[in-house]
């Protein structure tokens, strides 16, 4: 990986208002390069075995607060996150997620935006979720 690539990830952190530290830089780079769908804390732990769990958790929370990550509630009871792909400042639009009820994995449909729903004007929207539950191809094959 070239130094330019490293610094572009770091600049994403800076533009989100995050002070860059070695661990934040490593974590953000790892998420951007190795994770392409919704992930749980344990997935990051498996990628970064040398980093302690509480640091990983705190850093994920920091990234989510800075809106670099979306919190995904996929109904599995396990907090999931995904890298924000919103191309608007609102960060409300989000994208559709597919959750497999067998293996409990969640996929991001990055280019499928959540359909428009009319919400009463006096209700302040913070987050929208659109989760489609079903059985993934791998699990369907194993069932046969
Ligand atoms: Zn977003
Ligand atoms: Zn599955
Ligand atoms: Zn997602």
Residue 71 CA to ligand 1 centre (angstroms): 10
Spatial separation of the C-alpha atoms in residues 2 and 130, rounded to whole Å: 37
Q: Which ligand is nearest to the CA of 135?
A: 2
Residue 105 CA to ligand 2 centre (angstroms): 6
Q: Is the separation of the CB atoms in 60 and 69 below 8 Å?
A: yes
Residue 53 CA to ligand 3 centre (angstroms): 22
User: What share of the chain in percent tops pLDDT 70?
Assistant: 93
Q: With respect to CATH, is domain 3-143 assigned 1.10.10.10?
A: yes
Spatial separation of the C-alpha atoms in residues 88 and 73, rounded to whole Å: 21
Q: Which ligand is nearest to the CA of 143?
A: 2
Spatial separation of the C-alpha atoms in residues 144 and 129, rounded to whole Å: 31
Residue 50 CA to ligand 1 centre (angstroms): 29
Q: Which ligand is nearest to the CA of 107?
A: 3
Which DSSP state fits 19? Answer: P
Kindly report the pTM of this predicted structure. Answer: 0.85
Domain positions in the chain: 3-143
Spatial separation of the C-alpha atoms in residues 104 and 61, rounded to whole Å: 22
Give per-residue pLDDT as tens, 74-120: 989 999 999 988 766 666 667 899 999 999 999 999 888 888 889 99
């Amino acid at each position: 990986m070239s130094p330019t690539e490293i610094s572009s990830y770091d600049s994403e952190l800076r533009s989100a208002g995050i002070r860059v530290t070695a661990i934040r830089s490593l974590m953000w780079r790892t998420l951007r390069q190795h994770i392409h769908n919704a992930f749980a804390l344990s997935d990051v732990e498996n990628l970064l075995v040398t980093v302690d769990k509480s640091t990983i958790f705190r850093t994920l929370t920091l990234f989510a607060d800075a809106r670099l990550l979306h919190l995904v509630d996929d109904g599995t009871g396990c907090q999931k996150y995904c890298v924000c792909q919103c191309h608007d400042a609102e960060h409300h639009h989000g994208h559709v997620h597919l959750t497999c009820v067998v293996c409990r994995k969640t996929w991001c449909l990055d280019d499928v935006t959540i359909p428009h729903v009319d919400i009463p004007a006096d209700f302040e929207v913070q987050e929208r979720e659109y989760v489609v539950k079903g059985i993934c191809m791998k699990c369907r094959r194993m069932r046969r």
